[in-house]
Structure formats: structure tokens, C-alpha cells
Amino acid sequence: MTVQSPVPARPAPDQVHFHRTELSVILSLYGRFVAAGEWRDYGISSLRDVAIFSVFRRTAEQPMYRIEKRPKMAAKQGMYCVIGMDGRILRRGHDLRTVLRVLERKLIRAVD
């Protein structure tokens, strides 16, 4: 006779996603850039190793910025990073709000 546990083990997630709290921080920043007329569209990708929030000036372009979440990097350099259009990592860290400050500085310059 075999005994089964009452709660089945949850399988490992197939994809990485942004949580609601992370999305609210990102969308708050996105809304301020839209109000300033700098950004017009966004896209969200959930892949096996990374979740990506891409920001576009126009719909048919390549993204201006990518905000990435890589949980495997959490113990190393931080799981959040902002990547520019040219592929350079602008900022990386453990706290999403701190990482997004690099874009907030650009918003202040755009408004002034």
C-alpha cells in the first residue's frame, strides 16, 4: 500500500513572469513617459529564463529599452536590468525601483 501526499508537488514554472507588484512599478513609470510623449507602446515577453518588458517609441520599431527579470541572476548581480537600444546594460540590481531610476533621470531631462 502506498501513501500519497494530500497536496501534489508543484512543478517548476515553465516561464518567468513579472508579478503584479513588479508590473505596477513598471507601468507607473511607463505611464509617466507616455504622458511626456516619449513612449508610445510596450510589449511583454515571458520566456523560460527571462521575462522582458520592452518599450517602443513607435510600434514597428525595435525596443528603445528592455526591462528584464532573470531569476537565475538573483544571487549574483541582481535579477533586474535595464538594457538600451544598442544592447548595453544601463543598470542591474536586486531592487526593481532602484534599477528603474536610470530611466527616471531620462524622464526628468525629457520634461525639462
Measured between alpha carbons, how far is residue 60 from residues 36, 52, 101 in Å?
20, 17, 26
55 backbone dihedrals φ, ψ, rounded to 5°: -115, 130
pLDDT in tens, 2-55: 555 565 555 556 888 889 999 999 999 999 999 988 888 999 999 899 999 999
pLDDT in tens, 42-93: 999 998 999 999 999 876 678 899 999 988 888 888 899 999 988 999 999 9
Residue 22 near residue 96 (C-beta atoms within 8 A): yes
| pTM exceeds 0.85 | no
Query: How does residue 104 score in pLDDT terms, banded at 50, 70 and 90?
Result: confident
As beta bridge partners, residue 56 has 41
CA–CA separation, 73 and 95 (whole Å) = 12
- Residue (of 63, 62, 97, 102) closest to 82 by Cα position: 102
CA–CA separation, 72 and 74 (whole Å) = 6
- For residue 27 the three cell numbers come to 507601468
